[in-house]
Amino acid sequence: MENILDLRKEQCPMNFVKTKMRLETMKSKERLKVLLTDSVAVNDIPLSLNEEGYKIIEKSEKDGVFELVIEKP
């Protein structure tokens, strides 16, 4: 996966804003991996994106870093 957005130093709401901005530049069915350390955002971002039709393909955590893999509709 080449689309990676590293937001480990960002907090809400900027991590959502930056994720949404990157997704808007992508084509349908492309996937974006987002790296986060904000535990609130790892729950809030998928909720907001699901409402807009995005698919959360994967949600995982390793050593305090959360990964979301999001597919653009």
* Residues designated as active site: 12
Task: Tell me the C-alpha distance between 36 and 5, whole Å.
Answer: 9
